[in-house]
């Protein structure tokens, strides 16, 4: 049961093969069995069983949605009413959210069963899940490796069968890179497609929530429930949500694929390049035309990102001040001491680095040289994508230059960690939708194929991913010991 897709589980629930309560109990048991992976920060067993009972009633009454009764994990960045929402930080270790994020409200309304809150890098700042206050997560494919980050708990939980689907958020690759490292399907939607209300903000002009699942078909089902305009999010885009499942099977004949040559240059592991080439050849067999395109400004994406994201993070994280919620230091001498120590005693090193860089970049006299310059570079990168996507329907390339690296391997060198996000970060700067789907293995570890589409072309991306999954079985592979 634990390795079935959401679509299969939905059919099983309707056929009466099992109830949502049985399904939920099964997943809760597996979460206990594999607690060593550390994929969850909080398990909400009692609430999950209550939601499952309600879901079974809806199923019996014939008022069920596709997600009704399906167990999901919420990344611990999404606020959940009455449930600890830590964002992976000591600062919020005592924070019981007083409200639900819109994504949580929507999944609840669809009847999904929340198993718990998944582990993540502190405030979503990291590419390995190692900055979490609650410790690192093990990659089910190789437990001495990282699951990727920041949505590492969600990715590991889906890969290990500790949930049927999960939510993630992606600011610079935080859905796609862990999806690639753990061999699952991840979708980062167009900026503004999924509400950010109640999703704890890191870099507001880049953050976007999305689904992490076993298949593209499941991602379509979850995105259907998550997407849509929300007046509570001032950057939400008011535009109808298409039916993401109806076009999944469309043939790919005539699909134009662009391969940005800068995605295949220096720094890319040669065996990963081979896996990607093989996947692209599969698309040729499915009728696609492939051509090379160029994104000359791609190499400036990481520098621009490491100004924009820290600048926005330094502003967003100023709300954590020890006054209204979260951690407060003992015996503050005065108000300044209260702020300084409450923040200093809880934020980890990576969060502190980014707050400091952002504060510096925004400080008097430096704004033009850093933030304004980075926003101009951002425009050039976005223009590169626009010209490329005027020639082709989708872009393809690797998600990450390497497969999952060892736990502790890169923690001593923040820059090395930053550089591993080279292929994902540019997409966030442009605000485009992109997916990672399993495409093969190197050294027994999964490799992700990245598919990037035009604004609001999530339906096309899902179709392109689904057709590949109909013709390959990389997405059906299960890590040893988790069958």
Positions annotated as catalytic residues are 75, 150, 174
Q: Is the dihedral of CA 247, 251, 254, 259 positive or negative?
A: positive
Among 336, 365, 473, 483, binds other proteins (CB under 8 A): 336
What distances in angstroms separate CA 209 from CA 169, 288, 413, one per listed residue? 4, 29, 28
Among 123, 191, 283, 468, binds other proteins (CB under 8 A): 191
Minimum CB separation of residue 355 from other proteins in Å reads: 5
Minimum CB separation of residue 353 from other proteins in Å reads: 6
Among 22, 271, 337, 409, binds other proteins (CB under 8 A): 337
Window 49 to 78, contacts with other proteins (CB under 8 A): none
Tell me which stretch binds other proteins (CB under 8 A): 36-44, 253-261, 276-284, 412-420: 412-420
Minimum CB separation of residue 14 from other proteins in Å reads: 38
CA separation for the pair 248, 463 (Å, rounded): 4
Longest dimension (CA), the chain: 70
Among 18, 264, 325, 441, binds other proteins (CB under 8 A): 325
Among 115, 355, 462, 465, binds other proteins (CB under 8 A): 355
423 binds other proteins (CB under 8 A): no
Among 147, 153, 161, 322, binds other proteins (CB under 8 A): 322
The helix (run of H) or strand (run of E) holding residue 28 is helix 20-33
431 binds other proteins (CB under 8 A): yes
378 binds other proteins (CB under 8 A): yes
386 binds other proteins (CB under 8 A): no
Window 262 to 301, contacts with other proteins (CB under 8 A): 297, 299-300
Any residues with CB less than 8 A from the CB of 286 and at least 6 apart, and which? 251, 252, 253, 255, 467, 468, 471
The two tokens of residue 246 are 């109806």
Window 196 to 255, contacts with other proteins (CB under 8 A): 205, 231, 234-235, 237
330 binds other proteins (CB under 8 A): no
How many CB atoms within 10 Å of residue 471?
12
404 binds other proteins (CB under 8 A): no
- Report phi then psi at 106, rounded to 5: -70, -45
Minimum CB separation of residue 365 from other proteins in Å reads: 12
Q: Pick from 398, 182, 142: which is nearest to 269 by CA? A: 398
* Region of residue 97 (phi > 0: left; psi between -120 and 50: alpha; otherwise: beta): beta
Among 278, 345, 441, 478, binds other proteins (CB under 8 A): 345
Q: Are 190 and 458 in contact (CB under 8 A)?
A: yes
DSSP for 293-331?
A: E--TTGGGHHHHHHHHHHHHHHHHGGG-SSSSSS---SS
# residues near other proteins by CB under 8 A: 74
């Amino acid at each position: 049961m634990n390795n079935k897709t959401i679509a299969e589980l939905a059919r099983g629930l309707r056929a009466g093969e099992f109830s949502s309560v049985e399904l939920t109990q099964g997943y809760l048991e597996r979460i206990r069995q594999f607690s060593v992976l550390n994929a969850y920060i909080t398990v909400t067993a009692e609430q999950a069983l209550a939601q499952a009972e309600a879901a079974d009633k809806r199923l019996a009454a014939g008022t069920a949605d596709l997600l009704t009764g399906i167990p999901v994990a919420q990344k611990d960045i999404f606020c959940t009413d009455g449930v600890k929402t830590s964002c992976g930080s000591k600062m919020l270790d005592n924070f019981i959210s007083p409200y639900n994020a819109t994504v949580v409200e929507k999944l609840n309304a669809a009847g999904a069963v929340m198993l718990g809150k998944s582990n993540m890098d502190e405030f979503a700042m990291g590419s390995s899940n190692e900055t979490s206050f609650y410790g690192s997560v093990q990659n089910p494919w190789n437990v001495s490796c990282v699951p990727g980050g920041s949505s590492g708990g969600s990715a590991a939980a889906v890969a290990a069968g500790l949930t049927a689907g999960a939510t993630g958020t992606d600011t610079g690759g935080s859905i796609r890179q862990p999806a690639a490292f753990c061999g699952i399907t991840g979708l980062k939607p167009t900026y503004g497609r999924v509400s950010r209300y109640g999703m704890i903000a890191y870099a507001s002009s880049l953050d976007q929530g999305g689904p992490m699942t076993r298949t593209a078909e499941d991602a379509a089902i979850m995105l259907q429930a998550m997407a849509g305009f929300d007046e509570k999010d001032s950057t939400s885009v008011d535009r109808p949500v298409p039916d993401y499942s109806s076009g999944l099977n469309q043939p790919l004949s005539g699909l134009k694929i662009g391969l940005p040559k800068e995605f295949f240059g220096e720094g890319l592991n040669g065996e990963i390049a081979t896996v990607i080439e093989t996947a692209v050849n599969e698309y040729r067999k499915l009728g696609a035309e492939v051509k090379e395109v160029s994104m000359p400004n791609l190499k400036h994406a990481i520098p621009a990102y490491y100004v924009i994201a820290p600048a926005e993070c330094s502003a967003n994280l100023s709300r954590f001040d020890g006054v209204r919620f979260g951690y407060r230091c003992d015996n503050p001498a005065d108000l300044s001491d209260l702020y300084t120590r409450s923040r200093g005693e809880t934020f980890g090193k990576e969060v502190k680095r980014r707050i400091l860089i952002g504060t510096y970049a925004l400080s008097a006299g430096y704004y033009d040289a850093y933030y304004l310059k980075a926003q101009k570079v951002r425009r050039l990168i976005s223009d590169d994508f626009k010209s490329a996507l005027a020639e082709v329907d989708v872009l393809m390339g690797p998600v990450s230059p390497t497969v999952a690296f060892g736990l502790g391997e890169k923690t001593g060198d923040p820059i090395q960690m930053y550089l591993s996000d080279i292929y994902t970060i540019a997409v966030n700067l442009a605000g485009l939708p992109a997916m990672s789907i399993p495409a093969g293995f190197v050294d027994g570890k999964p490799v992700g194929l990245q598919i990037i589409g035009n604004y609001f072309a999530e339906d096309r991306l899902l179709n392109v991913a689904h057709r590949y999954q109909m013709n390959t079985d990389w997405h059906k592979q299960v890590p040893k010991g988790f069958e």
